[in-house]
């Protein structure tokens, strides 16, 4: 089934579908989604599978459909997971899909985190994608992640739209010699 066009309705300018991929050990993704959507949550139960939020970005209304798959992939190391997820994205998604790498628990001492900042940044650099560290506890960069990916996707869609616009091509332009005769003929018949 084909996806609906990016510009499908009058109540928004762009529809962006975001797929969050994460390990079940990274339940912070769910918590960060709760923080982002300003919902009440308790640390024991906050599972979001699908959420919608409309944001304003650069004068455009952008409807975000956020699909969270956290908890579906289990029992792999985090770095291996990321490499596998990126390989799956490259195999099954469009070539121009936007990707972003997000590390969570930025409020914790780096020695206690599963992935230090330097490793996360190095992995993002390896794949040529942006890297953010977030914290649901302090709300660090939670909203910025969503705005950043939305801005990148909106720009890609706008670039695609501008390339798809028809260009004006003049057909049957008179050559230099015949042009003067045709101009004289036009002025004679039009009374100018």
Domains of the chain in start order, with CATH, are 14-163 (3.40.50.300)
pLDDT at position 166, please?
61
Residue 41 has pLDDT above 50, yes or no: no
Q: Where are the alpha helices (DSSP H) in the chain?
A: 28-36, 78-92, 117-127, 142-164, 176-189
pLDDT at position 70, please?
59
Where is pLDDT greater, at 86 or 74? 86
pLDDT at position 165, please?
62
**pLDDT of 109-166, one tens digit each?**
999 888 899 999 999 999 999 999 998 788 899 889 999 999 999 999 888 877 776 6
What's the CA gap between 57 and 134, in Å, rounded? 21
Confidence (pTM) = 0.65
Four-residue CA torsion sign, 145, 148, 152, 158: positive
């Amino acid at each position: 089934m084909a996806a609906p066009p990016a510009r499908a309705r009058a109540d928004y300018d762009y529809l962006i579908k975001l797929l969050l991929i994460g390990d079940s050990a990274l339940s912070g993704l769910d918590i960060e989604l709760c923080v982002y959507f300003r919902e009440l949550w308790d640390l024991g139960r906050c599972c979001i599978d699908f959420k919608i939020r409309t944001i304003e970005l650069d004068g455009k209304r952008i409807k975000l459909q956020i699909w969270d798959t956290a908890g579906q992939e289990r029992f792999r190391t985090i770095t291996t997971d990321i490499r596998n997820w990126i390989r799956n994205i490259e195999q099954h998604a469009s070539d121009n899909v936007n990707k972003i790498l997000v590390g969570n628990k930025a409020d914790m001492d780096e020695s206690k985190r599963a992935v230090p900042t330097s490793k996360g940044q190095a992995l993002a650099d390896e794949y040529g994608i942006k890297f953010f560290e977030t914290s649901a506890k302090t709300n660090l960069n939670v909203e910025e992640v969503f705005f950043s990916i939305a801005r990148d996707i909106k720009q890609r869609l706008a670039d695609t739209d501008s390339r798809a616009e028809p260009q004006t091509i003049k057909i049957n332009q008179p050559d230099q010699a015949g042009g003067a005769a045709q101009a004289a003929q036009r002025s004679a018949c039009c009374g100018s």
